[in-house]
Amino acid sequence: MSLIGLEHEWVHVDILNQETHSEAFKAMNPNAKIPVLKVSDENYLWESNAILNFLAEGTSWLPDSDLERARVLQWQFFEQYSHEPYIAVARFIRKYLGLPDDRLDEYRSKQTGGHKALSVMELQLTETDYLCGNLPSIADISLYAYTHVAEEGGFSLEKYTAINAWLNRIEKLPGYIAQQ
């Protein structure tokens, strides 16, 4: 939202205290997950990548042609199935749960899949500045999110030269706000 200068109100939801499981929250998203976008009193939109597509419509963050739009979605579905379940889940277990013994096997099992996802990104970013070509799109936002904190999940980014250059490129875009 800051990248496109869109005014909004941010409401924090404490997932560690199960706030997504209240009846009031489930009335907005029956799947009990953040984020949720309130579009109007009657319309709530859930799933981060669907929200990004909705907000980016008509901006340079979402291209015009059918194939380019589908390419953005390709990387966003890759993020949800092949990247987040490894990198974000490993980070959650380590950073938020403190790497408890009963999650250690699961944590370790995430390493191979996480590095596979990073390798697929590295290959693309060796060819183009951004995931969908030489301009940034919402696919970059989706994958920047957990990639730039992958080290908190135990994934060293040292060997991924193209990913590091891409992270730097994104962090210099007008409107970029560093994580608080």
Q: 140 with 130: CB under 8 angstroms?
A: yes
Q: Does 53 bind a copy of itself (CB under 8 A)?
A: yes
Give the distance between the most distant pair of CA atoms in the chain.
49
Q: Which is nearer to a copy of itself, 66 or 101 (CB)?
A: 66
Check residue 178 and give left, alpha or beta (phi > 0: left; psi -120 to 50: alpha).
Answer: beta
Candidate list 4, 70, 99, 104; residue touching a copy of itself; CB under 8 A: 70
Q: Taking the complex as a whole, how short is the minimal distance between the CB of residue 29 and a copy of itself, in angstroms?
A: 9
Check residue 58 and give left, alpha or beta (phi > 0: left; psi -120 to 50: alpha).
Answer: left
Q: Does 82 bind a copy of itself (CB under 8 A)?
A: yes
Q: Does 120 bind a copy of itself (CB under 8 A)?
A: yes
Q: Does 134 bind a copy of itself (CB under 8 A)?
A: no
Q: Taking the complex as a whole, how short is the minimal distance between the CB of residue 172 and a copy of itself, in angstroms?
A: 27
Q: Does 61 bind a copy of itself (CB under 8 A)?
A: no
Strands 44-46 and 36-38 come out as antiparallel
Tokens standing for residue 20? 């997504």
Candidate list 6, 50, 165, 173; residue touching a copy of itself; CB under 8 A: 50
d(Cα 104, Cα 23) in Å, to the nearest integer?
Answer: 33
Tokens standing for residue 145? 């999110």
Candidate list 16, 67, 177, 178; residue touching a copy of itself; CB under 8 A: 67
- CB count in 10 Å sphere of residue 94: 17
Q: Does 73 bind a copy of itself (CB under 8 A)?
A: yes
Q: 167 with 147: CB under 8 angstroms?
A: yes
Tokens standing for residue 151? 């080290």
Q: Which is nearer to a copy of itself, 71 or 94 (CB)?
A: 71
Return residues touching a copy of itself (CB under 8 A): 30-31, 33, 39, 43, 45-51, 53-54, 57, 66-67, 69-71, 73-74, 76-78, 80-82, 84-85, 116-117, 119-120, 123-124
